[in-house]
Amino acid sequence: MEKRGNRRDLLSTKEVAEFLSVNEKMVYQLISDKGLPASKVTGKWLFPRYLVEQWIENSTINYPNATHEIIGGSGPLVVAGSNDLLLERTLSSYNRNHRGELAVFGNVGSMGGIKALKSGMCHIASSHIVSDDDEEYNFEFTDRELERQPVVVNFCHREQGILYHPRLKNFSGVADLGNPSLSVVNRPLGTGTRLLFDKELSRCGIKGSALVGYDEEVSSHMEVGLSLLSGRADAGPGIRTVATLLGLGFIPLRWERFDLIVLRDSYFDRRVQGFLGMLQERSLKRLARGLTGYDMERSGLMLFPENA
């Protein structure tokens, strides 16, 4: 019987990182979240090579589906899905610091990102869709759209709410939008922000179709804010940081989880790992300077459904 590795062969953290083509910080993540075999001796992690090889084989359960046009090993890193200011800064930082690489973003909303992932049009989908029971994010929709459970990594938590023009001195929240003298600007169908907005309107007994401007859609949080500043509308759904940057009023609705979703077939792609590795570095917090309404305590952590 052929030996597949010397049982006395012990790898260091650096050697395992090179073996898996990931950065060293990701190795620690794999130990805690994915059961990468390791032993701690005199304060240092050691990895039996044969067990690491065995772990890789045991983890290879999802093979590329012929119906998916999985993006190959060349070309730009493609991220598609929900729009976010901190995500835009992170993509720009990736392009500055990864010579010879390029990251591009498709602003197609959370559901659009998951569908793009399904069809092989992107490497990473960005999404923040809350489940019907308000308890979980994204897994209900990846289960519905994808044949196999993907890798879900938290990008951040951010504060969603209603942006409004400062001239509305007595504006107190969603219920006030039922006033026929007020107009709104909206986000497109399929975006997590639109889904949350519709849910909050329903809770207040307000039909979206009854709101002036409900069908006026813009593609980003910043465009919502600029529409209010220009006087095109009085209020609209968006994130706190836009309100702070533009001097708008803000009524908070909830802190939401904003995740990055990757098919398992693409998870160890060097571009994907290069981007996800940025989430565990101090540089992400530096990128968030001047942006309010973000919590990055769990940024970079792998997430699993509650019933997993």
Residue 80: name the closest of 95, 91, 89 by CA: 91
Dihedral angle sign, alpha carbons of residues 237, 243, 249, 254: positive
Q: 36 with 47: CB under 8 angstroms?
A: yes
Which two structure tokens, joined as six digits, stand for 126? 């960005």
As assigned by CATH, the class of the 77-156+256-303 domain is: alpha beta
Q: 156 with 296: CB under 8 angstroms?
A: yes
Q: How far apart are CA 241 and CA 291, in angstroms?
A: 5
Answer yes or no: is pLDDT of 305 > 70: yes
Answer yes or no: is pLDDT of 7 > 60: no
Please give the pLDDT value at position 30: 86
Mean pLDDT of all residues in 10-15: 88
Pairing of strands 124-127, 77-81: parallel
Structural element, H or E, at residue 145: helix 139-145
Please give the pLDDT value at position 66: 36
Superfamily of domain 160-255: Periplasmic binding protein-like II (3.40.190.10)
Q: How far apart are CA 261 and CA 248, in angstroms?
A: 32
Q: 71 with 122: CB under 8 angstroms?
A: yes
Mean pLDDT of all residues in 10-32: 86
DSSP H helical ranges for 5-138: 13-20, 24-34, 49-59, 85-97, 109-118
pLDDT tens, position by position, 255-290: 999 999 999 999 999 999 999 999 977 888 899 999
147 against 228, higher pLDDT = 228
Helix (H, G, I), strand (E, B) or coil at 103: strand
DSSP H helical ranges for 148-294: 192-203, 221-229, 240-246, 270-277, 282-287
Q: How far apart are CA 257 and CA 128, in angstroms?
A: 6
pLDDT tens, position by position, 58-73: 554 443 443 445 456 6
214 phi-psi bin (left φ>0, alpha ψ -120 to 50, beta other): alpha
Domain 10-59 fold = Multidrug-efflux Transporter Regulator; Chain: A; Domain 2 (1.10.1660)
User: Can you say how many angstroms the Cα of residue 191 is from the centroid of all Cα atoms in its chain?
Assistant: 13
Q: How far apart are CA 143 and CA 148, in angstroms?
A: 7
Which two structure tokens, joined as six digits, stand for 266? 């693409």
Please give the pLDDT value at position 5: 42
**Domains 10-59 and 77-156+256-303 equal at CATH topology level:** no
Q: How far apart are CA 64 and CA 272, in angstroms?
A: 17
For the chain, domain boundaries: 10-59, 77-156+256-303, 160-255
Residue 217: name the closest of 202, 237, 200 by CA: 237
